[in-house]
Amino acid sequence: MSLTSRIYIWIISTIGSCVLFTQLIQWHSESPFRYLCFLALTLAASSMKVSLPAVTGTMSASFLVILFGVLEFSLPETLLVGCVATLMQCYSSSSRRRPPIIQVMFNMSSLAVAIACTNFAWHSPFLSARHADTAVMLLITCLVFFTMNTLPIATVISLTEGKSLRRVWKDCYFWSLPYYLFGAAVAGLTSAATHRYGWQAALLVVPLLYLIYKSYNLYVGRTEAEKKHAEEMAKLHLRTIEALALAIEAKDHTTHSHLQRVQVYAIEIAKDLGLDDAQIEALRAAALLHDIGKLAVPEHIISKPGRLTREEFDKMKIHPVVGAEILERVQFPYPVTPIVRAHHEKWNGSGYPDGLKGEEIPIGARILATVDCLDALASDRQYRRAVPLDEAMQKVVAESGVSFDPRVVEVLQRRYRELEQLANKEYGPVKLSTNVKVERGLEPAAGFENVRRSGQVSTTAEKRVDFLASIAAARSEVQNLFELTKDLGNSLSLNETMSLLSIRLKRMIPYDAMAIYVQKDGMLRPSYVTGENSRLFSSLEIPVGQGLSGWVAENKKPIINGNPSVEPGYLNDPEKFTTMRSALAVPLVGSANTLAVATLYHVEKDAFTRDHLRIMMAIAPKVALSVENALRYQQAESSAATDYMTGLPNARSLFFHLDAEISRCRRQNNPVAVLVCDMNGFKAINDRFGHLTGNRLLRRVATSLKECCREYDYVARMGGDEFVLVIPGLKADTLQQTIERLGKATVEAGREITNQDIVSLSIGHAFYPEDGTDAEQLLSEADRRMYAAKMEAKQAAADKRGYDFDSTALATRW
The residue among 646, 672, 649 whose CA lies nearest residue 659 is 672
Position 148: which residue type? M
Q: Residue 376 pairs with which residues in a beta bridge? A: none
> For the whole model, what pTM was predicted?
0.49
Q: How far apart are CA 598 and CA 549, in angstroms?
A: 8
With beta carbons less than 8 A apart as the criterion, state whether 169 and 151 touch.
yes
CA angle 806, 810, 813 (to 5 degrees): 145
Instruction: Using the predicted structure, report yes or no on whether residue 436 has a pLDDT greater than 70.
Output: no
441 occurs within a structural domain: no
681 and 628 fall within a common domain: no
495 pLDDT above the threshold of 70: yes
Per residue in 406-417, pLDDT (tens digit) is: 999 999 999 988
State percent of the chain over pLDDT 90: 17
- Is it the case that residue 56 has pLDDT exceeding 60? no
Peptide bond into 305 cis (omega under 30): no
Q: Are residues 783 and 695 in the same domain?
A: yes
Q: What is the dihedral of CA 436, 439, 442, 447, to 10 degrees?
A: 30
pLDDT band at 480 (very low <50, low <70, confident <90, very high): low
Helix axes 62-72, 32-47, angle to 10 degrees: 160
Instruction: Answer yes or no: is 586 within a domain.
Output: yes
* Side-by-side strand order, sheet with 559-562: 542-543, 523-531, 513-520, 594-602, 582-589, 559-562
Whether residue 492 sits in one domain with residue 578: yes
CB atoms within 10 A of CB 543: 13
Long-range contacts formed by 313-318: CB under 8 A, 24+ apart: 313/441, 313/443, 313/444, 313/448, 314/437, 314/438, 316/444, 317/344, 317/352, 317/353, 317/438, 317/440, 317/441, 318/293, 318/353, 318/433, 318/434, 318/436, 318/438
3-state secondary structure of 766: strand
Q: How confident is the model at residue 478 (pLDDT cuts 50, 70, 90)?
A: low
459, burial (CB in 10 Å: exposed 0-12, middle 13-18, buried 19+): exposed
The band of 477, judged by pLDDT with boundaries at 50, 70 and 90, is low
Residue 550 lies in a domain: yes
Surface-to-core class of residue 494, CB atoms within 10 Å of its CB (0-12 exposed, 13-18 middle, 19+ buried): buried
Distance CA 267, CA 415 (A): 13
Handedness of CA 215, 218, 222, 223 (dihedral sign): positive
- 799 alpha carbon, distance to own chain's centre: 67
Asked if residue 715 and residue 594 are part of one domain, the reply reads no
- Residues 667, 629 within the same domain: no
CATH of the domain at 538: 3.30.450.40
Residue 701 lies in a domain: yes
pLDDT value of position 810: 31
For residue 424, give the amino acid letter.
Answer: N
Burial class (CB in 10 A: 0-12, 13-18, 19+), 445: exposed
The continuous run of DSSP H or E covering 594 comes out as: strand 594-602
589 & 687 share domain: no
Whether the CB-CB separation of 303 and 257 falls below 8 Å is answered with no
The reported pLDDT for the residue numbered 107 is: 84
Task: Report the C-alpha gap between 474 and 467 in whole angstroms.
Answer: 11
Res. 613: pLDDT tops 60: yes
Look at residue 727 in the predicted model and tell me its pLDDT.
Answer: 92
Q: What percent of the chain has pLDDT over 70?
A: 79
| pLDDT tops 50 at residue 772 | yes
pLDDT per residue as tens digits for the range 15-36: 988 988 888 888 777 777 777 8
Distance CA 479, CA 644 (A): 45
Say if residue 809's pLDDT is above 50: no
Of 573, 608, 639, the last residue of a domain is 639
Let me know whether 350 and 324 are in one domain.
yes
What is the Cα–Cα distance from 489 to 621, expressed in whole angstroms?
12
Answer yes or no: are the C-beta atoms of 556 and 300 closer than 8 Å. Answer: no
- What DSSP string describes 76-103? HHHHHHHHHHHHHHHH--SSSPPPPHHH
State the residue range of the domain holding 739.
651-813
Confidence of residue 455 (pLDDT cuts 50, 70, 90): very low
Residue 89 lies in a domain: yes
d(CA 46, CA 61) in angstroms, rounded, equals 6
Domain assignment of residue 443, yes or no? no
Q: Which of the listed residues 376, 394, 425 is the one where a domain comes to its end?
A: 425
Q: What is the CATH number of the domain that holds 157?
A: 1.10.1760.20
| DSSP output for 253-299 | GGGTTHHHHHHHHHHHHHHHTT--HHHHHHHHHHHHHTTGGGGGS-H
Residue 789 placed within a domain:
yes
Check residues 631 and 549 and name the one with the higher pLDDT: 549
- Pairwise CA distance, residues 313 & 302, whole Å: 10
Query: Does residue 231 surpass a pLDDT of 80?
Result: no
Does 77 or 41 have the greater pLDDT score? 77
Query: Mean pLDDT score of the chain, rounded to an integer?
Result: 79
Q: What is the pLDDT of residues 183-210, one digit of tens each?
A: 788 777 877 777 777 766 666 666 766 6
Q: How high is the pLDDT of residue 394?
A: 92
pLDDT tens-digit map of 719-734 = 888 999 999 988 888 8
Beta strands in 445-571 (DSSP E): 513-520, 523-531, 542-543, 559-562
Q: Domain check: are 367 and 475 in the same one?
A: no
pLDDT of residue 637: 67
Domain boundary, last residue among 425, 450, 473? 425
CA distance readout (Å), 147 to 4, 176, 250: 21, 11, 56
Quick check: 471 pLDDT over 50? no
Predicted local confidence at residue 539, as pLDDT: 85
138-156: average pLDDT: 86
- Residue 321 sits in a domain whose CATH number is 1.10.3210.10
Q: What is the pLDDT of residues 681-739, one digit of tens each?
A: 888 888 888 888 888 999 999 999 999 998 889 999 988 889 999 999 888 888 899 99
Q: Is the pLDDT of residue 465 over 50?
A: no
Let me know whether 594 and 677 are in one domain: no
Shared-domain flag, residues 681 and 626: no
- How far apart are the C-alpha atoms of 782 and 777, rounded to whole Å? 9
Residue 33 is predicted with a pLDDT of: 78
CATH number at residue 742: 3.30.70.270
Mean pLDDT computed over 792-799: 76
**Tally of CB atoms within 10 A around 196:** 8
Mean pLDDT along residues 371-376: 89
Q: What is the pLDDT at residue 456?
A: 45
DSSP string, 651-687: HHHHHHHHHHHHHHHHHHT--EEEEEEEEETHHHHHH
The yes-or-no verdict on residue 625 having pLDDT over 90 is: no
Among 334, 338, 336, CA closest to 230: 334
Neighbour count for residue 131 (Cβ, 10 Å): 6
Name the DSSP letter for residue 609.
Answer: B
Cα separation, 503 vs 530, whole angstroms: 10
- The mean-pLDDT minimum among 65-79, 171-185, 478-492 falls in 478-492
Q: How many CB atoms lie within 10 A of CB 240?
A: 15
HEC string of 8-30 equals HHHHHHHHHHHHHHHHHCCCCCC
Number of domains present in the structure of the chain:
4
Rounded CA-CA distance 291/256 in Å is 12
Q: Which of 99-113, 493-507, 572-586, 740-754 has the highest mean pLDDT?
A: 740-754
Residue 237 has pLDDT above 70, yes or no: no
Would residue 239 count as lying in a domain?
A: no
Q: Phi and psi (nearest 5°) for 799?
A: -60, -40
User: 101-105, 363-367, 442-446: lowest mean pLDDT where?
Assistant: 442-446
Q: What is the predicted pLDDT for the residue at 72?
A: 80
Strands lying side by side in the sheet with 722-728: 714-719, 722-728, 672-680, 760-768
* Candidate ranges 250-259, 502-511, 565-574; pick with highest mean pLDDT: 502-511
380 and 316 both lie in a single domain: yes
Measured between alpha carbons, how far is 110 from 516 in angstroms, rounded to an integer?
A: 84
To the nearest 10 degrees (0 to 180), the angle between helices 205-251 and 32-47 is: 20
Residue 140 and residue 168 in one domain: yes
With cut-offs at 50, 70 and 90, classify the pLDDT of residue 246: low
Q: How many CB atoms lie within 10 A of CB 625?
A: 17
> Distance of alpha carbon 420 from its chain centroid, rounded?
17
